[in-house]
Amino acid sequence: MPRVRIHAAAPSKVGQAPICSRGRGRRTAELADAALRVFTDFEGSMSTRQVFYQLVSVGAVENSQREYERVQRLLVHMRREHEIPYDRIVDRTRGKHQRAGWNGVQDVMVSVAEQYRRNLWVSQDTVVMVACEKQALEGVFSEVVDRYGASLWTLRGYASESFAYEWACEIERLNLEGSDVAIAYFGDHDPSGLGLEQDVQDKHRRHHADFTWERFGLLKSDFDRFGLVNVPVKPSDSRARKYLELHGDRAAELDALRPDELRSRIERAIVAHIDSEEWAALERAEQVERESLRMVTINWNKAVQAAGVNA
């Protein structure tokens, strides 16, 4: 992932004049400067909403829909002006669907050799599932879960009956195979965020799924630890009264956590349940198997010619 290219003679420091004016007014130039610092501090990609919450956390903008739209417009302009690489900002709410196709059998073999991974969880007593409320954060989460072959369950709000049933069936299958299931949950700390978390657990138990559940973010302690900007609880929310009694008028979205902090927590949640010796043994077996597939791919044309078949 390319680093942000800052167009300035020297790196910007807080308190200095904005490093990138591009004919902008003072307030917009200062906001652009703050956005560049956000990308300079973090590796990987983020959604527009993540960038917005990082800007809120440093006091560059207020937490409002109007300011969000302002940041959104600015980030579009900054990408078009090549101040921020396009692949540093992602939209995971939209996508492309197309059936896979190859240019021949050898092409398939190359793909298999590159993509082959062992299911390293078969040797573990506990299988970890990672759950996230926000689809916009899938990029941050997938970087970590893919490294360990863990499953990621993205709720996008309250889980539908169908989605919860599918998830519960997967838990039950693992239970029948003798595995415990630990779910590491990440969601907003607000009335809806806590409400949907309890709702999906209730739906799982209704289908007799056996699991443990632990919230890894947002936590109540994160407000003070990271100086999160408070989002007032909406009185119109039917869950507001109970939330206010338990937590006070303090709420925030998961996007407000720094991406590196999220990655660290996801990894910690997964590694806590791994038997390292068993894991390492299967990783060695995987490496041997991948090398075998690679050798088959290299010698594929020779095998085809020996069989007298046109590739």
Mean predicted confidence (pLDDT) in 75-98: 87
Give residue-wise pLDDT tens across range 100-134: 787 877 787 788 877 888 889 998 999 999 999 98
CA pair distance 244, 249, nearest whole angstrom: 6
Is 266 a member of any domain? yes
pLDDT above 90 (res 53): no
223 shares a domain with 131:
yes
132 shares a domain with 54:
no
Identify the CATH number of the domain in which residue 151 sits. 3.40.1360.10
pLDDT above 70 (res 73): yes
85 shares a domain with 130:
no
**Residue 305 to residues 162, 293, 301, 309, 310: CA-CA distances in angstroms?**
50, 19, 6, 6, 7
Q: Are 61 and 69 in contact (CB under 8 A)?
A: no
13 shares a domain with 69:
yes
pTM: 0.74
User: Could you tell me the pLDDT band of residue 135, with boundaries at 50, 70 and 90?
Assistant: confident
Give residue-wise pLDDT tens across range 180-194: 999 999 999 999 999
- Residue 44 vs residue 225, higher pLDDT: 225
- Residue 309 vs residue 84, higher pLDDT: 84
pLDDT above 70 (res 9): no
Q: What is the pLDDT of residue 118?
A: 86
DSSP the chain: -PPP---SSS---TTSPPS--TT--HHHHHHHHHHHHHHHH--S-B-HHHHHHHHHHTTSS-SSHHHHHHHHHHHHHHHHTTSS-GGGB--TT---------SSHHHHHHHHHHH----GGGG-SEEEEEEES-GGGHHHHHHHHHHHT-EEEE-SSSPPHHHHHHHHHHHHHHHHTT-EEEEEEE--BSHHHHHHHHHHHHHHHHTT---EEEEEES-TTHHHHTTPPP-PPPTTSTTHHHHHHHH-S--B-GGGS-HHHHHHHHHHHHHTT--HHHHHHHHHHHHHHHHHHHHHHHTHHHHHHHTT---
50 shares a domain with 140:
no
pLDDT above 60 (res 11): no
Query: Longest C-alpha distance within the chain, in Å?
Result: 78
Give residue-wise pLDDT tens across range 145-197: 999 999 999 998 899 999 999 999 999 999 999 999 999 999 999 999 999 99
Q: What is the pLDDT of residue 309?
A: 59
Is 136 a member of any domain? yes
CA pair distance 89, 228, nearest whole angstrom: 22
Give residue-wise pLDDT tens across range 242-301: 999 899 888 998 988 988 999 999 999 999 999 999 999 988 998 888 888 888 887 777
184 shares a domain with 50:
no
173 shares a domain with 55:
no
DSSP 123-175: G-SEEEEEEES-GGGHHHHHHHHHHHT-EEEE-SSSPPHHHHHHHHHHHHHHH
CA pair distance 134, 245, nearest whole angstrom: 25
Mean predicted confidence (pLDDT) in 224-233: 85
pLDDT above 80 (res 22): no
Is 30 a member of any domain? yes
Is 139 a member of any domain? yes
| Mean pLDDT of the residues in the chain | 85
Is 187 a member of any domain? yes
172 shares a domain with 40:
no
Is 132 a member of any domain? yes
Is 119 a member of any domain? no
User: Could you tell me the pLDDT band of residue 310, with boundaries at 50, 70 and 90?
Assistant: low
% of the chain at pLDDT higher than 90? 48
133 shares a domain with 259:
yes
Segments forming the whole domain that contains residue 224: 125-274
Is 105 a member of any domain? no
Domain count, the chain: 2
